């Protein structure tokens, strides 16, 4: 029996890339590969890349350069680049880094085994098409190995919004939703292997419009209600959402669906209507605030998370102050904030850029405000009882670490608990990025 070949995957970026890396590993498992944790041990290295952050492509080329000595020492080592940088750069990656053997876009990774076979035969392989076939349907069924208590599940890919700063429509393509029955089957399979919480993923997840079992159109809310009926699945989350696709049925689900957790990531990006229009966000700050009010009316204990871009082209101090005002009005428990960086090929890249020093100073002020809100909201949790899904053992004997329904990390002594248990915990203290509690 042939010895298994070894695969090392390094994942950059969002939860969807984490999910994609899992499926890549499963696809390559069918080609005789097992995963390893160090590139030095691998027969194939895959970089699953993200194009969202600043200088994403250059960081990939820098990472590839670190593998040059490995490749020279072992010419049979195969190196591949997958994901959104692969989609955007294509053959340019192979031209700039000849040590790369294959390049595959995020819609084509189901073809990895055939590409690997071509590479093993002495060739190179490039596939950045947007194929007509459903990659999820082409992928082998997930192996029945035991899983941790939480898992990601992609339900929708691509985006039709064309925000002026974003490359996703160009690297992931148009919005496509998976059929509901396949998602439910995959969720049941995950639960059979120990998963108790599933996060539904999409570049614009609440734009989900999948085909139902009888050919009808399902919204994300309808899919959530169907998953609510899956025995053994205890928690449902979803990310990332667009305010314009937050339908009334989804708002209602937040108030009525027992398994849908009271946490929502709903990016706004800016509080200035002028900048929102320049971003092509198609909503106003006031509309966003009114939307949050309706969601919180349905679920008063909702913890809100958001995204913010500081220093977008032509942003003035007045525009930036409007963003601070929106944050004060909404109040975020968590948030992600970034200084704008250009993405070649996007409309905003051609516009007058904000002074880098001014943008950095604004980012510091914005992050200070967000950090203060996070501290205040975590402090308000002290004395409250929460439900914690234990995900791992802590550093101290008998300590367990898990997530509350609000996605806070919670540490507590629970010597008799096991990973996957859900326990009631009273919060007794707060740290910068976690809470401490006592098992009830």
- The CB-side HSE value for 242 (13 A sphere, CA atoms) comes to 20
Please measure the distance between the N-terminal and C-terminal CA atoms of the chain and give it in whole angstroms.
Answer: 52
Assigned token pair, 268: 């706004």
Annotation-wise, does 412 bind a ligand?
A: no
Gyration radius of the chain's alpha carbons: 23
Q: Where are the beta strands (DSSP E) in 350-439?
A: 385-393, 399-403, 409-413, 422-431, 434-439
CA dihedral 198, 203, 206, 207 (to 10 degrees): -140
Residue 257 marked in a binding site: no
Please provide the size of the chain in residues: 440
Is-contact 69 33, C-beta < 8 A? no
Q: Which two tokens stand for residue 91?
A: 């053959």
Closest listed residue to residue 320, CA positions, set 369, 269, 368, 272: 272
Q: Which of 244, 236, 170, 248 is nearest to 201 (CA)?
A: 236
Burial of 35 (0-12, 13-18, 19+ CB in 10 A): middle
60-67's contacts with Cβ under 8 Å and 24+ in sequence apart are 60/12, 60/85, 60/93, 61/93, 61/96, 61/97, 63/10, 64/97, 64/99, 64/100, 65/97, 67/39, 67/99
Annotated binding site: 14, 50, 84, 159, 163, 166
Annotated binding site for [4Fe-4S] cluster: 14, 50, 84, 159, 163, 166
């Amino acid at each position: 029996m042939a010895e298994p070949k070894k695969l090392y995957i390094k994942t950059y970026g969002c939860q969807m890339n984490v999910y994609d890396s899992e499926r890549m590993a499963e696809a390559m498992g069918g080609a005789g590969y097992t995963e390893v944790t160090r590139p030095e041990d691998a027969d194939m290295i895959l970089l699953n890349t993200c194009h969202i952050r600043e200088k994403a492509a250059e960081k990939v080329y820098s990472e590839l350069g670190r593998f040059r000595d490995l490749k020279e020492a072992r010419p049979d080592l195969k190196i591949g680049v997958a994901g959104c940088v692969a989609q955007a750069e294509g053959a340019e990656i192979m031209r700039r880094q000849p040590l790369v053997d294959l390049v595959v876009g995020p819609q084509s990774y189901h073809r990895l085994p055939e590409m690997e076979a071509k590479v093993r035969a002495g060739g190179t392989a490039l596939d950045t098409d947007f194929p007509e076939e459903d990659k999820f349907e082409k992928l082998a069924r997930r192996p029945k190995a035991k899983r941790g208590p939480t898992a990601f599940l992609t339900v929708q890919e691509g985006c039709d919004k064309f925000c002026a700063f974003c490359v996703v429509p160009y690297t992931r393509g148009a919005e496509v939703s998976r059929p509901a029955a396949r998602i439910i089957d995959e969720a049941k399979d995950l639960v059979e292997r120990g998963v108790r919480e599933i996060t539904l993923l999409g570049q614009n997840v609440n734009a989900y419009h999948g085909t139902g079992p009888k050919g009808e159109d399902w919204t994300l809310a309808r899919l959530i209600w169907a998953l609510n009926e899956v025995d053994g699945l205890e928690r449902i989350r979803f990310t990332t959402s667009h305010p314009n696709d937050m339908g009334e049925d989804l708002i209602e689900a937040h108030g009525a669906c027992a398994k849908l957790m009271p946490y929502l990531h709903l990016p706004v990006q800016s509080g200035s209507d002028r900048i929102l229009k320049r971003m092509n966000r198609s909503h106003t700050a006031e509309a966003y605030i009114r939307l949050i009010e309706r969601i919180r009316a349905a679920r008063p204990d909702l913890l809100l998370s958001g995204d913010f871009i500081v220093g977008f082209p032509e942003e003035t101090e007045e525009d930036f102050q409007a963003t601070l005002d929106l944050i004060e009005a909404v109040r975020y428990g968590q948030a992600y904030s970034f200084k704008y960086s250009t993405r070649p090929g996007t409309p905003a890249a051609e516009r007058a850029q904000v002074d880098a020093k001014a943008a950095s100073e604004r980012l510091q002020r914005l992050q200070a405000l967000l950090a203060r809100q996070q501290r205040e909201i975590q402090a308000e949790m002290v004395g409250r009882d929460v439900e914690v899904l234990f995900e791992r053992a802590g550093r101290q004997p008998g300590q367990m670490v898990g997530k509350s329904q609000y996605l806070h990390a919670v540490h507590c002594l629970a010597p008799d608990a096991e990973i996957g248990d859900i326990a009631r915990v009273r919060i007794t203290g707060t740290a910068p990025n976690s809470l401490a509690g006592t098992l009830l």
